[in-house]
Amino acid sequence: MFDLLQYNFIQNALVAAVLASIACGIIGVYVVVKKIVFISGGIAHASFGGIGLGYYLGVNPMLGVLPFSLISALVMGTVSKKSKIPEDSAIGILWSLGMALGIIFVYLTPGYAPDLMTYLFGNILTVPRFDLYFMLVLDIVIIGAVYLFYKEFLALCFDEEFTTVQGLPTEKLYLFLLCIIALTIVVLIKVVGIILVIALLTIPASLSRKFTYNLKQMMLISIAFGTVISVTGIGLSYALDVPSGATIILVLSFVYGLVAFGMEMLENRRSSGDLKES
């Protein structure tokens, strides 16, 4: 197994797994505690338009998806808050609009769209070196933003109305948080693909929530979970020769199910023990 580490593509995959786990570990916590899983999924899917645009313009699709996901985040955040349409309907519309644009762009691109499947479903074993640097820069931006805005994001997520009353520009802050989520999605695309991104944003954070009531600790624990589980997933997918993105998600779901079930059993045993004592 250790000879595997000599391969360049395996090294790249491991670096990508760590970079992705850092981004999703930190930002996933906000997605989970602020309960914005659905809008985050919407931003991720709508970003497919950016991948199509990248192909159409003949540039690296990762460069197309960056501006497109940021615009999706801003439009979705604004429309869902300001318009009269219910928030979930607005998200549903923009979600499919972005994907439809992507399909049209890919169709209009002359010739064959190489690697299209890797953007949809991820393939961490084929991450090129350039994409790693790109992910690293985005990780630094994400960490910096969370470091600077930690107390504002905490206040916003806990009680948006009170934070507004305190005089903070909560609408802008919320849009900023969505933009950081969009950057995180871009980091995660190569690992699990647009369709499965939402799993990395929710499962590690939901897992860590079971172990602590402190937001910073939650972030660290979910980074740890994300790293260990995605590396395990890479190993399994290599050994069994199955797609890496889907394997990582399966391992994540399995661990989540195991932990949730185990904790429930413990709780039940403890409460029945309490009954016996009394």
Partner 1 sequence: MEKVIELKDIWVRYGNQIILEAINLELKEPHGLLGIIGPNGGGKTTFLKLLLGLLKPYRGSVRLFGRPPEKSRELVGYVPQYRGFDFDFPISVWEVVLTGRISHTGFLRKYREEDRKAAEEALKTVEMFQYRDRQIGQLSGGQRQRVLIARALATNPKLLLLDEPNSGLDPHMQDELYRLLDRLKHEMAIIMVTHDLSAVSVYVDKIACLNRTLHYHNSREIPIEDLEATYQCPVELIAHGIPHRVLSSHEGNR
Binding site for partner 1 (CB under 8 A): 33, 35, 148-149, 151-152, 154-155, 157-159, 161-168, 209, 212-215, 218
In the complex with partner 1, the residue whose CB is nearer, 33 or 231, is 33
Q: Dump the DSSP string for 22-72.
A: HHHHHHHHHHHHTT-HHHHHHHHHHTHHHHHHHHHHTS-HHHHHHHHHHHH
Please list the alpha-helical segments (H only) found in 58-196. 61-82, 87-108, 116-121, 129-148, 150-158, 160-165, 170-192
Separation of alpha carbons 180 and 201, rounded Å: 12
Closest CA to 249 of 240, 259, 261, 236: 236
In the complex with partner 1, the residue whose CB is nearer, 93 or 154, is 154
In the complex with partner 1, the residue whose CB is nearer, 157 or 197, is 157
Closest CA to 201 of 76, 32, 15: 32
Closest CA to 189 of 70, 20, 54, 11: 20
Side chain identity, residue 125: L
Query: Rounded to the nearest whole angstrom, what is the least distance from the CB of residue 261 to partner 1 in the complex?
Result: 19
Query: Rounded to the nearest whole angstrom, what is the least distance from the CB of residue 273 to partner 1 in the complex?
Result: 20
In the complex with partner 1, the residue whose CB is nearer, 161 or 241, is 161
Rg of the chain taking only CA atoms, in angstroms: 20
Q: How many CB atoms lie within 10 A of CB 39?
A: 24
Query: Rounded to the nearest whole angstrom, what is the least distance from the CB of residue 12 to partner 1 in the complex?
Result: 34
In the complex with partner 1, the residue whose CB is nearer, 33 or 97, is 33
Separation of alpha carbons 200 and 188, rounded Å: 8
Query: Rounded to the nearest whole angstrom, what is the least distance from the CB of residue 158 to partner 1 in the complex?
Result: 5
In the complex with partner 1, the residue whose CB is nearer, 120 or 215, is 215
Closest CA to 252 of 181, 173, 191: 191
Query: Rounded to the nearest whole angstrom, what is the least distance from the CB of residue 116 to partner 1 in the complex?
Result: 39
Query: Rounded to the nearest whole angstrom, what is the least distance from the CB of residue 274 to partner 1 in the complex?
Result: 17
Query: Rounded to the nearest whole angstrom, what is the least distance from the CB of residue 217 to partner 1 in the complex?
Result: 8
In the complex with partner 1, the residue whose CB is nearer, 13 or 146, is 146
- For residues 234 and 14, is the Cβ–Cβ distance under 8 A? yes
